[in-house]
Copies of this chain bind each other. A is one copy, B any other.
Amino acid sequence: MSAGLACSCITASLTRTRPYLASTISLLPFLSPSLLPPSPRYLFSNTRSYAMANTDEVKTKLKAGGKKKEVKKETGLGMSFKKDENFGEWYSEVVVNAEMIEYYDISGCYILRPWTMAIWEVMQEFFDAEIKKMKIKNCYFPLFVSPGVLEKEKDHIEGFAPEVAWVTKSGKSDLEVPIAIRPTSETVMYPYYSKWIRGHRDLPLRLNQWCNVVRWEFSNPTPFIRSREFLWQEGHTAFATQAEADVEVLEILELYRRIYEEFLAVPVIKGKKSEREKFAGGYYTTSVEAFIPNTGRGVQGATSHCLGQNFAKMFEITYENEKGEKAMVWQNSWAYSTRTIGVMVMTHGDDKGLVLPPKVAAVQVIVIPVPFKDADTQAIFDACTSTAKSLSEAGIHAETDLRDNYSPGWKYSHWEMKGVPLRLEIGPKDLANSQVRAVRRDNSAKKDIPMANLVDQVKELLDTIQQNLFDVAKQKRDACIQIVRTWDEFVEALAQKKLILAPWCDEEEVEEDVKRRTKGETGAAKTLCSPFDQPELEEGTLCFASGKPAKKWTYWGKSY
A residues within 8 Å of B by Cβ?
32, 34, 55-56, 102, 104-106, 109-114, 116-118, 121, 137-146, 149, 161-172, 178-179, 181, 191-192, 195-196, 199, 201, 207, 211-212, 214, 216, 229, 231, 403, 405
Contacts and interface: CB of A to CB of B under 8 A. Distances in A.
Contacts of A149: 105
Given A167-B166, A168-B166, A201-B403, A56 B195 contact: yes
Given A105-B191, A111-B140, A121-B138, 19 more contacts: A32-B199, A56-B195, A102-B195, A105-B146, A105-B149, A109-B143, A111-B139, A111-B192, A114-B138, A116-B139, A117-B139, A140-B231, A144-B229, A162-B172, A163-B171, A164-B171, A165-B170, A166-B167, A167-B181
A106 B146 contact: yes
A167 B161 CA distance: 15
7 contacts: A106-B144, A114-B207, A117-B139, A118-B138, A163-B170, A167-B168, A201-B405
Contacts of A196: 102
A38 B165 CA distance: 52
Contact of A214 (B121, B143, B168): B143
Most B CB atoms within 10 A — which of A113, A170, A196, A229? A170
A139 B113 contact: yes
Contact of A169 (B104, B144, B178): B178
Nearest to A109: B142
A179 B102 CA distance: 19
Nearest to A140: B112
A204 B195 CA distance: 50
Nearest to A192: B102
A142 B106 contact: yes
A290 to B, nearest CB: 23
Given A165-B167, A169-B178, A405-B201, A117 B102 contact: no
A160 to B, nearest CB: 9
Contact of A114 (B137, B161, B163): B137
Nearest to A114: B137
A142 B229 contact: yes
A325 to B, nearest CB: 14
B141 A111 contact: yes
A176 to B, nearest CB: 10
Contacts of A229: 142-144
A170 B104 contact: no
A102 B194 CA distance: 13
A133 to B, nearest CB: 13
A227 to B, nearest CB: 9
A550 to B, nearest CB: 38
A151 to B, nearest CB: 13
A112 to B, nearest CB: 4
A4 to B, nearest CB: 34
A114 to B, nearest CB: 4
A117 B137 contact: yes
B179 A169 contact: no
A25 B105 CA distance: 67
A500 B403 CA distance: 53
A212 B55 CA distance: 28
A117 B140 contact: yes
B231 A144 contact: no
Contacts of A139: 111-114, 116-117
Contacts of A192: 102, 111
Nearest to A403: B201
B171 A161 contact: yes
B171 A168 contact: no
A195 B137 CA distance: 40
A168 to B, nearest CB: 5
Given A164-B171, A192-B102, A212 B214 contact: no
